[in-house]
Amino acid sequence: MISGTLDFYSELTSESDCQMPCLCTFQCVTNHVLVLCENASLAEVPVNLTSAVTAISLKHNFITNLTRDSFSHIPSLQVLDLGDNMIRYIEDGSFLPLRVLYDLYLNDNDISEVNSAILNMSSPQIASLDLSTNRISSFPNDTFNEMTSVQGIFLHNNQLSTIPDGVFDDLLNLSAVFVIGNPFNCSCDILYLTSWYKDAVFTNGLSLSTDIPQLPCNDIGFSNETELDQWVRDQEEACSPQPTASVVTVEVPVTQIVTTQKWYLYAGSAALAVFLTAAVCWLIYDYRLEILVFIYIKTGLKPFSSRSSDDEGKEYDAFISFSSLDRDFVLEELLPKLESLESRRRLCIHHRDFIVGECIATNIINAIEKSKKILILCSKNYLESEWCSYEFKTSHQQALRDRARRILLVMMEDVDEKTLDKEIKAYISTNTYLHRSDALFWSKLMYSIPESKGTTTLEVNAGEINDVDVTDEVKQISIL
């Protein structure tokens, strides 16, 4: 979780601040101190560390127990990665000294028990909790009560057979949940989980990154609202207590039978009308983007679309995240179409708009924060680029923090799902994306990116940009 970003760090050499065999570094972007103690055969958390440590990675060690004293000497910790150890016991209140903790990774351990006492947090800003790949078989429904700010909970690859009722109800900031790889019984045991997912995504419109749609409970999955709603209603009926049946003989007059037949006729007509109305509504919902794009093409209007107040004053309409190997498409097709006088979009691209001499990471973060949308051009080249992966993850985290649909994903070509990054695959399963081969691709793209009315388009000679030899491999930073 931490070690992949060392290009932005310089090493600290003071023995008083860094305990061997750990590597202690300093980040230029945030002024944070990072400690890497991976694969160091440690049996406990290092003691001789500076209190200024803000992130520590203790992955791939032999730590078995955590106590209240484990982290008392590093209270400024924001990121704690204890993945791939042998932790099987955590004392109640072990994380209380960490008053500004943001991310906690406990994945790939031997943990079998979690509850609200173990996860009692004093930090008001805890955002991510990773408990994946452990031996957790159950937990109380108040386990996460002390973590009301949490945005992501990762429970995949455990031994859970059910998710307790109400466990996510009070977590109003939750925007990522992963549960695949547990031996769930596809019946009453996951009725709460599926009902919560249906209400969160399809009723309340929450932008949720999750693998719940991939639960192997039927042939169609849970990404379709209609089928999911039917599955939930079937389970609610099956899980409800059934009344005891009794046989009663009743004599019914002929006139009452005729009246009953008329009532059935009226009821059947009403049911047919409801069915037809529902079918029309479903078609409108399923093809809503095509309908809105058609209206936009014919009239130039965007019904039901409003500008977010958070977008006011942003310099760019969209930041284009793409592999340098795909720049011919960007320079020869994308920029001319979107930045034309008719389209009036103001775009940010690496080659033209990044500040010379600034950290690449800083440039990426600034571009994302200054842009209303982040346009991801996902191709095979994109998936093979570490920098492109960094741009997507940074964009996704910013969108989660803003609780807004800022990412616009374009599939440039068909790719093997096995090559997709875990976060991109989860995003695709729960969000709409565009495909380059779509006949309405340019119209949908124009509709999805708001234009900057009254803004002068920047004229750029594509040939001049092509003369600059920029590759993903050149983008390296060394801090002395």
Which helix (H) or strand (E) segment is 191 a member of?
helix 191-198
Which residue has better confidence, 151 or 217?
Answer: 151
Beta-carbon count within 10 A of 4 CB: 10
**68-112 residue pLDDT tens:** 999 999 998 999 999 999 999 999 999 999 999 999 999 999 999
> Beta 9-11 vs 33-36: how paired, if at all?
unpaired
What's the average model confidence in pLDDT over 221-241? 74
DSSP single-letter state for residue 146: T
- When mean pLDDT is compared across 98-112, 187-201, 243-257, 361-375, the lowest value belongs to 243-257
Start-to-end C-alpha separation, the chain:
24
pLDDT number for residue 95 = 93
HSE at residue 378, side-chain half, CA atoms within 13 A, is 24
pLDDT exceeding 90 applies to what percent of the chain?
26
What's the average model confidence in pLDDT over 402-413? 82
pLDDT number for residue 166 = 92
Dihedral sign, Cα of residue 32, residue 37, residue 42, residue 48: negative
The answer to whether the beta carbons of residues 36 and 22 sit under 8 Å apart is: yes
> Beta 371-378 vs 9-11: how paired, if at all?
unpaired
Closest CA to 212 of 231, 197, 195: 197
- When mean pLDDT is compared across 96-100, 331-335, 453-457, 473-477, the lowest value belongs to 473-477
- When mean pLDDT is compared across 201-215, 270-284, 323-337, the lowest value belongs to 270-284
**137-161 residue pLDDT tens:** 999 999 998 888 999 999 999 999 9
Q: Is the pTM of this model over 0.85?
A: no
Q: How far apart are CA 103 and CA 49, in angstroms?
A: 19
Q: How far apart are CA 343 and CA 165, in angstroms?
A: 50
Spell out the residues 6+ positions from residue 257 whose beta carbon is closer than 8 angstroms to its own.
none
Which residue has better confidence, 367 or 20?
Answer: 367
Q: How far apart are CA 129 and CA 363, in angstroms?
A: 28
Q: Bridge partners of 434?
A: 410
What's the average model confidence in pLDDT over 104-125? 91
* Token pair in block for residue 360: 């690449």
- When mean pLDDT is compared across 82-86, 262-266, 358-362, 453-457, the lowest value belongs to 453-457
Indicate if the pLDDT at residue 136 is higher than 60: yes
**Residue 282 binned pLDDT confidence (cut-offs 50, 70, 90):** low
